[in-house]
Chains A and B, each alone.
Chain A
Amino acid sequence: MDKIVSYQDVIDQLSDGMTIGVGGWGARRKPMSLIREICRSDIKDLTVVSYGGPDVGLLCAHKKIKKLIFGFVSLDMIPLESHFRQARQKNEIDVMELDEGMVQWGLRAAAMNLPFLPTRVGLGTDVLTHNLELEYVTSPYSDAEKLVAMPALNLDIALIHVNKSDEKGNTQIVGPDPFFDELFARAACKTFISSEEVVSTQELGGKDGAIFNRFERSLVTGVLHAPCGAHPTSCAPSYGFDIKHLKEYSEAAKSFDEYSAKYLNKTHQEYIDSVGGAETILNIPLPQF
């Protein structure tokens, strides 16, 4: 079984109006090379579900998003995401703003083929005021508590960046926090992986490696070899986030053309060269808090 795909193969699977889930968290382990490829394409009107970072910002800057389902959009050390802010402040995107845990709950419901999962989270807040589609459910037990029925966030496609994969889609996230990528994969009809390394099954490291296999290969439709594919976000333990680049990217909200000419509309290799090459990226230290 060979699931190796090209960027074009992934783009061919996307169409206008689809719901796309993006793995990672803020400025961490985002499938940025795939996001840049979507920005180059003519795909539009996407609904995007994300623990948002520059993935959301770049898609906003390219007017690819019709609706954003999110709990936050942030670049971590740069707390506010300038491109996302601009899109919101100009009323360019529809939003479904949720608590971070509600996003997880929605993905989990989708992963379990359930219509919803109950939660208290959201009660007493404007999350419910601004999302009139969110309904309530009453506990059928003696407490009869009124809870939020968090609807399933079913995804057409999930895009996830990992450290290692074989060509069958046995993936490994070696960084200490796998975030909610497993749920994105389970909530999606198809999942495309971008991977730092593509190795043989043997090279995945047997039992010691298998604990880093966060979801099974049957969930994986395609595997793309994308070394440094998370840049400018981090990919622990290989490289940290590129703060200098994120600052330049952040500043570019004022005049995007210069940033775009320098770094975008390129092949992945050309992009890597434009930001200093793979060796430079691999030398970016992991962030410390």
Chain B
Amino acid sequence: MSESISLAEICISSSSKAWKGEGEILATGIGLIPRIAAGLAKLTHNPDLMMTDGETYLISQPAPMGKRDTSNDQVEGYMSYSRVFENLWGGKRHAMVTPTQIDSFGQTNISAIGDYDSPKVQLLGVRGFPGNFINHKNSIFIPNHSVKTFVKGEVDMVSGMGYQNKDLSNGKFEIKLVVTNLGVFDFNGENNNLQLLSLHPGVSIDNVIENTGFDVIIKSDEVTQMPTSDELACIREVLDPQGIRNSIFGE
């Protein structure tokens, strides 16, 4: 544990708190950091979480990053795409995702940038965002916090709904946590404004303000809590022994 703690590890530790107290639900971490973070949540504070092998089966231990011998996976259940929809429509899921844009309402975009009829950049399409955000809690991980990701006004194509429409969601809509390369945030400011909870080491409040296209409430300027030695052992030895996590910030 002598090596220094990387930004990726700080983000994983912070992101894993998204699933704190969430109980026996499906944890879906889409992308490198969210996936390791969901695994960390299961190995540390929430062993009841359900997780998939990234394909079709629920497995008892989080699938580590990189190549593995899948015959060692302890399969405990089935989670086809069809069942994922049934599960999420019932609200028993918490996903952490990385939208291309997010706005002050918490609306998210993974569909297209620019004019909708002939987009400047066509992305994936809305995928499951409309259904996810209206049916269950979500958290967000943004590796490149800037005015291009945290946009002024509204996102170009609203894929996931925002707080101004929460009434449409039967009370289910909530963005619990927002973790970026600069700090940790939530949307629990007055009127559901984005608020800063902590800054990663070396990041200033000005860095956050300059890189966010809308007002951020500064609730705290504390430094983000560092991963514990137990968390670091889980990340380094179990969840990502090959160190794939550090590619995200070129560490």
Contact = CB atoms under 8 A, between A and B. Distances in A.
Interface of A: 25, 52, 70-74, 79-80, 84-85, 88-91, 97-102, 104, 120-127, 129-130, 145, 176-180, 287-289
Nearest to A182: B82
Interface string B111-151: 11000111111111111111101110000000000000000
Interface stretch (B36-44, B153-161, B180-188, B209-217): B153-161
Chain B interface mostly: loop
A94 to B, nearest CB: 9
B131 A288 contact: no
Given A120-B135, A123-B134, A101 B159 contact: no
B161 A97 contact: no
B162 A79 contact: no
Nearest to B109: A126
18 contacts: A70-B125, A89-B118, A100-B128, A101-B88, A102-B130, A104-B82, A104-B85, A120-B170, A121-B130, A121-B131, A126-B116, A126-B159, A145-B170, A177-B55, A178-B80, A179-B82, A288-B68, A289-B53
B161 A89 contact: no
Q: Pick the most buried of A99, A145, A176: most chain B CB atoms within 10 A of its CB.
A: A99
Contacts of B189: none
B54 interface: yes
Nearest to A88: B122
Contact of A176 (B80, B89, B117, B159): B80
Contacts of A145: 170
Contact of B130 (A122, A176, A178): A122
A125 B119 contact: no
A30 B213 CA distance: 41
Nearest to A79: B124
B165 interface: yes
Given A125-B161, A179-B81, A90 B118 contact: yes
B: interface residue count bin: 35 or more
Given A89-B119, A126-B157, A127-B126, 17 more contacts: A72-B125, A73-B124, A74-B124, A97-B126, A99-B129, A104-B82, A123-B161, A123-B165, A124-B130, A124-B158, A124-B168, A125-B130, A125-B158, A125-B160, A145-B170, A179-B81, A288-B68
A125 B169 contact: no
Contacts of A90: 118
Contact of A288 (B70, B129, B158, B165): B70
Contacts of B56: 176-177
Nearest to B157: A126
Contacts of A52: 125
Interface of B: 53-57, 63, 67-68, 70, 78, 80-82, 85, 88-89, 111-112, 116-131, 133-135, 157-162, 165, 168-170
- Residue from the set B68, B126, B134 with the largest chain A CB neighbour count within 10 Å: B126
A125 B126 contact: yes
A180 B63 CA distance: 25
B122 A89 contact: yes
Given A71-B128, A100-B85, A121 B159 contact: no
A233 B198 CA distance: 44
Contacts of A179: 80-82
B126 A124 contact: no
Contacts of A70: 125
A60 to B, nearest CB: 11
A256 to B, nearest CB: 17
Contact of B112 (A88, A100, A287): A88
A97 B118 contact: no
A15 B124 CA distance: 29
A176 B57 contact: yes
Contacts of B81: 25, 177, 179-180
Nearest to B111: A97
Given A120-B169, A180-B81, A289-B53, A71 B158 contact: no
A80 B131 contact: no
A24 B158 CA distance: 27
B161 A73 contact: no
Closest 8 CB pairs of A and B: A289-B54, A124-B161, A124-B165, A91-B118, A72-B125, A99-B130, A88-B122, A176-B56
B206 to A, nearest CB: 33
B162 A124 contact: yes
A142 to B, nearest CB: 15
A172 to B, nearest CB: 16
B71 to A, nearest CB: 11
A72 B89 CA distance: 19
B56, B89, B128, B131 pick with most chain A CB within 10 angstroms:
B131
B167 to A, nearest CB: 9
A84 B54 CA distance: 25
A151 B129 CA distance: 19
Contacts of A180: 81-82
